[in-house]
Amino acid sequence: MEENLDAAIESLLNVEKQMRLAGDVAGTKKAVIDIIELCYKARAWKTLNDQIVLLSKRRGQLKQAVTAMVQKAMEYIDETPDLDTRIELIKTLNSVSSGKIYVEIERARLIKKLAKIREEQGLIAEAADLMQEIAVETFGAMAKTEKIAFILEQVRLCLDRQDYVRAQILSRKISPRVFDADTSKEKKKPKEGDNVVEEAPADIPSLLELKCIYYELMIRYHFHNNDYLEICRSYKAIYDIPSVKEDPSQWIPVLRKICWYLVLSPHDSMQSSLLNTTLEDKNLTEIPNFRLLLKQLVTMEVIQWTSLWEMYKDEFANEKNLLGGPLGDKAAEDLKLRIIEHNILVVSKYYSRITLKRIADLLCLSLQRSICRIWWSRSLWWQTLIDQWGSCAFRQSKTTMTS
């Protein structure tokens, strides 16, 4: 049987040589594919690897023939009898396609398959290193969704290995505006000389699904830095996806997270704008407790921390069973801090002079802790008083000068 296979391959190699030297593209491609198919049907995996290397190195080998050979051999990866044979075939195809721009897409797909195998073996760092070898953003012929999916896989592996710096760098290769593209528009026919963009494989998610994956990864990244406002904005982007907004079982947990992370975010213009926008959302009536929570934050009245926590601690604990998981002990501490900061702003609005004992009662803190909290609260009560004093002094000096 082996002798028959060798004889058949030798015969086809002679045909391939004749076609290649004659410059017959179609004939060369057919001969190459016939050799690959012959090895596959005989289940001669080692011979298949050897023939792939041999055919790719033949003098003056046509690009079209190499491309056809690699694409055909890739169809047999999932048909290999064991993992070692599969890895060997992937490595052979990878070495053949390395440095050849006309099979760069095939090489990217091969690397992705190998990285997945390494990940399943528990070698996360090796899988991440493999994926980082490929810069798909430079591939003109690769479909946009496939590019995005590949970069998102790179980001995910970096987050899994806790390489947050590289995860951030890779995530910046994707502009959030790309997810807002109108996919309903008809594709323009490519002009002569333009790169022909390949169709994305069937297993690549749609653009809206990729948008959801992107923001879920961004939530993981920002959670590492405890950047509550960016986490909130990421959940807001997920909330605006039509498929999410149409299903209450999906948007209610997301809207809850938006409310929590809005409350946890430090007070600034962006947080204030998002807070007021969220309060105008009609869907908030479905979760009245959270509407009340946000309403308290926009109302310039002192919030009693003990009564607030008593009311919301069960809701806080329930988050562990919902989308995004638990908020954590750090979030509970930060929630108390945000309420204290809100109360300091309220006090600065209504009081020009106040005793430390009175402010300690309003903040629900001991006298010592209230002094520390006021001292370290940037741009809150003390800053407000300084600004007021400065403006008064400026007005007074201006009046003196004019008189």
State the CB neighbour count (10 A cutoff) for residue 128.
24
pLDDT higher than threshold 90 for residue 332? no
pLDDT higher than threshold 70 for residue 402? no
Each residue's pLDDT tens digit, 135-160: 998 888 889 999 999 999 999 999 99
| Mean pLDDT, rounded, of the chain | 84
pLDDT higher than threshold 80 for residue 96? yes
pLDDT higher than threshold 70 for residue 394? no
Each residue's pLDDT tens digit, 229-279: 999 999 999 999 999 988 888 999 999 999 999 999 988 889 889 999 999
pLDDT at residue 340 in the model: 85
pLDDT at residue 200 in the model: 83
Average pLDDT, stretch 217-226?
A: 92
pTM score, whole prediction: 0.84
pLDDT at residue 46 in the model: 92
Q: Give the ranges where 161-268 is alpha helix by DSSP (H).
A: 164-171, 207-224, 228-239, 242-245, 248-264
pLDDT higher than threshold 80 for residue 78? yes
State the CB neighbour count (10 A cutoff) for residue 228.
23
Q: How far apart are the first and last CA of the chain?
A: 113
pLDDT at residue 183 in the model: 54
Average pLDDT, stretch 339-344?
A: 86
In this structure, what token pair is assigned to residue 113?
Answer: 């398959």
CA distances from 328 to 205, 260, 265, 325 (A): 31, 12, 15, 9
pLDDT higher than threshold 50 for residue 396? no
CA distances from 1 to 5, 42, 43, 44, 196 (A): 6, 9, 11, 11, 43
Please state the separation of Cα 156 from the chain's center in Å: 7
pLDDT higher than threshold 80 for residue 388? no
Give the separation between CA 32 and CA 30, rounded to whole angstroms: 6
Where along the chain do its domains lie? 1-97
Using 50, 70 and 90 to split pLDDT, how confident is the model at 389?
A: very low
pLDDT at residue 369 in the model: 59
Using the Cα atoms of residue 51, residue 52, residue 58 and residue 60 in order, give the sign of their dihedral. positive
Q: At what angle do helices 269-279 and 288-298 cross, to 10 degrees?
A: 140
Average pLDDT, stretch 162-172?
A: 94
pLDDT at residue 336 in the model: 87
Identify the DSSP state of 43.
T
Give the separation between CA 58 and CA 20, rounded to whole angstroms: 9
The answer to whether 359 and 374 are in contact (CB under 8 A) is: yes
Give the 3-state secondary structure of residue 189: coil
pLDDT higher than threshold 90 for residue 362? no
What whole-number percentage of the chain has pLDDT above 90? Answer: 49
pLDDT at residue 1 in the model: 53
Using 50, 70 and 90 to split pLDDT, how confident is the model at 374?
A: low
Each residue's pLDDT tens digit, 281-299: 999 999 999 999 999 989 8
